[in-house]
C-alpha cells in the first residue's frame, strides 16, 4: 500500500515511518508536515494540494488543524484515512463525522490494543463497583499538547456508557469548596519528563479501593496499531470506524 504520513516530522510520525519501512506491505511514498524536509528518500510537502503521488491510505499523527487539512485532500481523492491525532473540539469532531460520509475514516484517541481491553475492563468494573468514586489519572511527557489525554476520555466514556451516561467529568477541583459529587468522574493530568503514557483508573470505595493501570514504554505500540488500522480501513466502505471495529 502506498502510504502518506501526515505529521511526518513529529515523534509519532517518525515512529510510523520506522515501522512502515520495516513492514512488507507498506511503501511510504510521501509525507506532509508544517516544516518541509529534504532528508527523506521520498517527497515531503507543507501543502497537501501539491501532492502528485498515488496514495492508497493516509495515517495522520499531527494537530487538529493538520488533520482537517489532510481530510479535505483525502475527500477530494477518496483516500481512506487513519486519524490518530487527539485534542479535537466538538465542532472539529462533527466535521470529521461529515467527512466520513464521503470516505472511510478510522479514528481513535489511542491506537493500543491493550487500552481497548482496559476500556472494556473498567466498564465492567464500573457496574460491579457502582458505589465507588471513580478517578482517572493520565501521565505523559512534558511535550504533550492536549490535556486530558484522549485515552483518559476513552476510559471515562467507556465507564459512563454503562452508567446510563449519567456521570459528568470533573477536570479541576482547584476552585471548588464542596464535597465530591457521586455523579462525577474525576480526571487529572500529569505532564513531565519523557513518559510515553500511563493511565490509572481508581475505584474508591468504603475502606477499600481498586486500581487498574496501563503503561506504554514505547511509541512503537501506537505506530503498530496505526498500521493495523490502515490495513483495516482500506477495505471498508465510507463511514467512521474505531478500535472496537478493528477488534471485532
Q: Scanning the structure block, which residue is given the C-alpha cell 519528563?
A: 193
- What torsion, rounded to 10 degrees, do the Cα atoms 74, 4, 12, 70 define? -20
The pairing of beta strand 133-140 with beta strand 81-83: unpaired
Angle at 194 between CA 172 and CA 64, to 5 degrees: 60
At a CB cut-off of 8 Å and minimum separation 6, what does 207 contact?
Answer: none
> Which bin fits 4, alpha (ψ -120 to 50), beta or left (φ > 0)?
beta
Which residues are part of the catalytic machinery? 140, 144
Contacts of range 27-30, beta carbons closer than 8 Å, 24 or more positions apart: 27/1, 27/2, 27/3, 28/3, 28/4, 29/2, 29/3, 29/4, 29/53, 29/54, 29/55, 30/4, 30/55
8 A C-beta contact, residue 123 and residue 162: yes
Residue 49: HSE in the Cβ half-sphere, 13 Å Cα cutoff: 1
Task: Look up residue 41 and give its three cell numbers.
Answer: 528518500
8 A C-beta contact, residue 117 and residue 155: no
Taken as a whole, the chain contains a residue count of 248
The pairing of beta strand 27-32 with beta strand 2-6: parallel
Amino acid at each position: 500500500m502506498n502510504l502518506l504520513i501526515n505529521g511526518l516530522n513529529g515523534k509519532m510520525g517518525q515512529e510510523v515511518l520506522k515501522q512502515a519501512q520495516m513492514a512488507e506491505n507498506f511503501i511510504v511514498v510521501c509525507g506532509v508536515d508544517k516544516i518541509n524536509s529534504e532528508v527523506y528518500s521520498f517527497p515531503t510537502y507543507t501543502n497537501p494540494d501539491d501532492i502528485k503521488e498515488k496514495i492508497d491510505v493516509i495515517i495522520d499523527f499531527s494537530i487538529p488543524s493538520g488533520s482537517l487539512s489532510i481530510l479535505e485532500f483525502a475527500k477530494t481523492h477518496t483516500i481512506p484515512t487513519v486519524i490518530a491525532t487527539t485534542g479535537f473540539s466538538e465542532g472539529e469532531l462533527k466535521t470529521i463525522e461529515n467527512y466520513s460520509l464521503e470516505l472511510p475514516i478510522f479514528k481513535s484517541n489511542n491506537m493500543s490494543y491493550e487500552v481497548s481491553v482496559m476500556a472494556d475492563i473498567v466498564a465492567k468494573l464500573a457496574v460491579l463497583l457502582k458505589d465507588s468514586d471513580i478517578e482517572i489519572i493520565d501521565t505523559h511527557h512534558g511535550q504533550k499538547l492536549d490535556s486530558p489525554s484522549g485515552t483518559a476520555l476513552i476510559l471515562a466514556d467507556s465507564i459512563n456508557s454503562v452508567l446510563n451516561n449519567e456521570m459528568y467529568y470533573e477536570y479541576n477541583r482547584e476552585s471548588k469548596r464542596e464535597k465530591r459529587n457521586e455523579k462525577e468522574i474525576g480526571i487529572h493530568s500529569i505532564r513531565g519528563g519523557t513518559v510515553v503514557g500511563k493511565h490509572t483508573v481508581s475505584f474508591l470505595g468504603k475502606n477499600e479501593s481498586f486500581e487498574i493501570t496501563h503503561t506504554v514504554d514505547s511509541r512503537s505500540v501506537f505506530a503498530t496499531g496505526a498500521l493495523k488500522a490502515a490495513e483495516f480501513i482500506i477495505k471498508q466502505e465510507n463511514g467512521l470506524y474505531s478500535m472496537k471495529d478493528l477488534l471485532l
